[in-house]
């Protein structure tokens, strides 16, 4: 019994600090030390959240934001992955495209916002384009790096054992590149939310970012804070998703082994 | 030939069946013939315990290899009988690993003719298998799947069972479902051996496969390799740094110096070999030959370091 209790205390370790901040924040708000006009208390944020949930606005905003994020992610991520794959495998393709991609990569993609608004107005295409653009580069670079860093001795072994073309990619090169590809995947998820927040805040008529900007107009700080917390939550969710993939696909990796590893990942 | 092969397979299967009933594989009693070629005459009656005639002949005629301006192998002349065990020794960079890569088809000879089983080597030979110094197991495949890789292209109807049986041969059947990362170095090399054996190779090439193992594991692995070689009858070519390993395993030890064969010695010792006076004699002959060259070179301006 004592042991189980101890285990729970340790399991809850990552939540101690958020909980402490929440409590301290509420105390500051309810004692009046921090005026509502600076920062609404957690309770007020929760009430705002409840109100928006019951009238359906919140679900609609989360829905549309998630849809944009995922669509942009799939387009940009897939393109980055395919191009990374091509350039990792075909030297001619790499010679042709890599230096161009590296040049474009160094332009902050958010700098494209004025141009994107000019092209697409505040329609869906612009936001999805920006997300796809942001997601493309980490996926591309990490896929390429992953393929390049596959142990050449394993490739040689595969050839000696008669693996040809597609088999060699499927059995040796892709699994060898997977750890790096998943790193790119995690980076890309982070960039996906960041891009979307900025895009929705600047040019949108729906979504979480729009909800926040709209609330600012009417000085509803509780809704603004709610939006910020939502982004934090969504970011955490996508990170968990990436970790889930890592644990599923990298089971063989000592780092991700379920038990008996000193590097057990949380 | 084909029927002899089939009979050989039957003998192996019989063997597996016996082992499945708890008979030891490592310390099997010495079989009646010490050499596949000698066993050839008497094999008809006692097929079950004699090695199947499985190995291929190798013929090298004036084989040279150069990388850029560097001549690595010079007009090599060598014939290896089917089913024999040849060890190749020599200092680092003498060209012994290059020779092995030519035999496997990983590299092409610059000139000369290199024939395996009577056919010119062009690309990787389907009946040849290679064992590397490091095990080169795929870390993302289980032990069993790694062994199954050895069946690529063979169109085997039951790869699962064959891989499992190959693992049984090396004594690791109970680790079939594990990741390679949890195995010890010696165990990984045994899995690599199972992977090499599962496709019933007719030529097995070893590139210092035991170089990274500790002394005890080495001896254990040497006995296992010898045992499996006698059981399966493939032709074996092993590159090694270790003269005593060469004498322990090989029918014939070939010393390569500066891309040429400097010594070609038949080891006329009965198997299994003990490290007795005869053993020491052969070891001494080879070492003397290497060291004599060392002495000659010491008089020169620079002293190379030898690794055998």
Report the C-alpha gap between B26 and A103 in whole angstroms: 62
B-contacting residues in A 232-251 (Cβ below 8 Å): 250-251
pLDDT of residue B84: 92
Domain boundaries, chain B: 2-127+201-298, 141-194
From the list B126, B129, B138, which residue is nearest A172 (CB)? B138
- CA-based torsion, B5, B8, B10, B13: positive or negative: negative
CB contact under 8 A, A176 and B140: yes
What value does the mean pLDDT take over residues B164-193?
90
CB contact under 8 A, B152 and A254: no
Indicate the helix (H) or strand (E) that contains B58. Answer: strand B58-67
Least confident range from A127-136, B8-17, B93-102, B272-281: namely B8-17
Smallest Cα distance from B191 to chain A, Å: 14
pLDDT band at B24 (very low <50, low <70, confident <90, very high): very low
DSSP state of B242: -
- Determine contact: B140 vs chain A, CB below 8 A: yes
Task: Report ipTM for this prediction.
Answer: 0.74
Is the pLDDT assigned to residue B157 strictly greater than 80?
Answer: no
pLDDT of residue A86: 92
DSSP bridge partners of B61: B113
In chain A, which residues have pLDDT < 70?
A: 1, 257-266
Return the closest-CA partner of residue A140 out of A102, A106, A196.
Answer: A102
Pick the CATH number of B2-127+201-298 from 3.40.50.300, 2.70.98.10, 3.40.50.2000, 3.40.640.10: 3.40.50.300
- Give the Cβ contact number of residue B299 at 10 Å: 7
Output the six-digit token pair for B207.
């590139």
Q: B-chain residues within 8 Å CB-CB of A172?
A: 138
Tell whether omega for the bond before B231 is within 30 degrees of 0, i.e. cis.
no
pLDDT of residue A264: 39
Half-sphere exposure of B26 (CA within 13 A, CB side): 10
Return the closest-CA partner of residue A35 out of A221, A165, A183.
Answer: A221
What value does the mean pLDDT take over residues B166-180?
90
Place of tokens 């990436």: A242
- CA-based torsion, A135, A136, A137, A138: positive or negative: positive
Residues 6+ apart with CB under 8 A from A125: none
Return the closest-CA partner of residue B54 out of B86, B10, B17, B87.
Answer: B10
pLDDT of residue B218: 87
Q: A-chain residues within 8 Å CB-CB of B180?
A: 252
Largest CA distance in chain A: 75
Report the C-alpha gap between A181 and A201 in whole angstroms: 30
CB contact under 8 A, A161 and B149: yes
DSSP three-state, residue B35: coil
From the list A162, A175, A251, which residue is nearest B153 (CB)? A162
Report the C-alpha gap between B121 and B100 in whole angstroms: 12
Spatial contact of B151 and B162, defined as CB atoms under 8 Å apart: yes
Report the C-alpha gap between B226 and B249 in whole angstroms: 6
Place of tokens 């990792």: A88
Which CATH class, in words, describes the domain spanning A55-251?
Answer: mainly alpha
pLDDT of residue B52: 55
- Determine contact: B81 vs chain A, CB below 8 A: no
pLDDT of residue B118: 82
Specify the higher pLDDT residue, B47 or B9: B9
Spatial contact of B144 and B167, defined as CB atoms under 8 Å apart: yes
Half-sphere exposure of A96 (CA within 13 A, CB side): 10
* Percentage, residues of chain B above pLDDT 90: 21
Nearest CA in chain B to A161: B150
Residues 6+ apart with CB under 8 A from A252: B139, B140, B141, B179, B180, B181
Spatial contact of B9 and B52, defined as CB atoms under 8 Å apart: yes
Output the six-digit token pair for A232.
């934090």
pLDDT of residue B119: 82
Specify the higher pLDDT residue, B255 or B291: B255
Least confident range from A146-160, B176-190, B261-275: namely B261-275
What value does the mean pLDDT take over residues B13-36?
44
Is the pLDDT assigned to residue B146 strictly greater than 90?
Answer: yes
Q: A-chain residues within 8 Å CB-CB of B193?
A: none
CB contact under 8 A, B124 and A159: yes
Q: A-chain residues within 8 Å CB-CB of B126?
A: 162
Look up the pTM and report it: 0.75
CB contact under 8 A, A159 and B138: no
């Amino acid at each position: 019994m004592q042991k189980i209790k101890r285990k729970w205390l340790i399991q809850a370790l990552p939540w101690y600090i958020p909980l402490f901040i929440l409590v301290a924040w509420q105390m500051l708000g309810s004692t009046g030390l921090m005026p509502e006009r600076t920062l609404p208390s957690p309770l007020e944020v929760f009430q705002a959240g409840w109100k928006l949930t019951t009238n359906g606005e919140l679900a609609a905003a989360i829905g549309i934001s998630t849809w944009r994020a995922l669509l942009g992610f799939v387009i940009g991520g897939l393109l980055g992955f395919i191009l990374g794959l091509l350039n990792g495998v075909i030297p001619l393709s790499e010679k042709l495209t890599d230096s161009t991609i590296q040049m474009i990569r160094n332009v902050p993609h958010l700098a494209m916002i004025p141009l994107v608004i000019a092209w697409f107005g505040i329609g869906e295409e612009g936001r999805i384009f920006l997300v796809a653009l942001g997601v493309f580069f980490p996926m591309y670079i990490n896929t390429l790096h992953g393929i390049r860093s596959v142990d050449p001795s394993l490739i040689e072994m595969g050839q000696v054992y008669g693996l040809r073309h597609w088999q060699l990619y499927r059995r040796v090169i892709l699994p060898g590149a997977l750890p790096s590809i998943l790193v790119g995947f995690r980076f890309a998820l982070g960039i996906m939310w960041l891009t979307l927040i900025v895009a929705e805040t600047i040019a949108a008529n729906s979504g979480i970012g729009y909800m926040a900007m709209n609330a600012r107009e009417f000085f509803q700080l509780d809704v603004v804070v709610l939006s910020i917390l939502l982004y934090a939550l969504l970011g955490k969710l996508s990170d968990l998703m990436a970790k889930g993939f890592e644990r599923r696909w990298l089971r063989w990796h000592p780092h991700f082994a379920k038990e008996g590893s000193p590097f057990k990942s949380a | 030939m084909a029927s002899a092969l089939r009979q050989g397979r039957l003998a192996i299967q019989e063997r597996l069946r016996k082992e499945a009933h708890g008979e030891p594989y490592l310390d099997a009693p010495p079989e009646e013939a010490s050499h596949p070629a000698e066993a050839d005459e008497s094999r008809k009656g006692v097929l079950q315990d004699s090695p199947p005639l499985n190995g291929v002949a190798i013929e090298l005629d004036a084989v040279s290899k150069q990388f850029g301006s560097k001549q690595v192998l010079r007009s090599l002349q060598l014939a290896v009988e089917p089913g024999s065990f040849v060890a190749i020794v020599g200092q680092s960079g003498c060209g012994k690993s290059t020779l092995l890569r030519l035999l496997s088809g990983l590299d092409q000879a610059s000139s000369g003719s290199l024939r395996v089983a009577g056919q010119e080597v062009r690309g990787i030979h389907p009946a040849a298998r290679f064992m590397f110094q490091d095990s080169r197991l795929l870390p993302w495949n289980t032990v069993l799947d790694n062994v199954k890789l050895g069946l690529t292209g063979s169109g085997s109807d039951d790869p699962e069972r064959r891989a499992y049986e190959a693992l049984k041969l090396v004594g690791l059947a109970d680790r079939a479902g594990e990741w390679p990362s949890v195995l010890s170095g010696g165990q990984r090399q045994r899995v690599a051996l199972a992977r090499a054996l599962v496709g019933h190779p007719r030529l097995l090439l070893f590139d210092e496969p035991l170089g990274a193992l500790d002394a005890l594991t080495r001896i254990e692995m040497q006995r296992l390799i010898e045992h499996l070689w006698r059981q399966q009858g493939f032709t074996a070519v092993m590159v090694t740094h270790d003269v005593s390993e060469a004498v322990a395993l090989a029918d014939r030890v070939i010393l390569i110096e500066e891309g040429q064969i400097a010594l070609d010695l038949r080891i006329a010792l009965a198997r299994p070999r003990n490290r007795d006076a005869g053993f020491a004699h052969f070891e001494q002959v080879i070492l003397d030959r290497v060291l004599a060259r060392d002495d000659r070179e010491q008089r020169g301006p620079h002293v190379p370091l030898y690794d055998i």
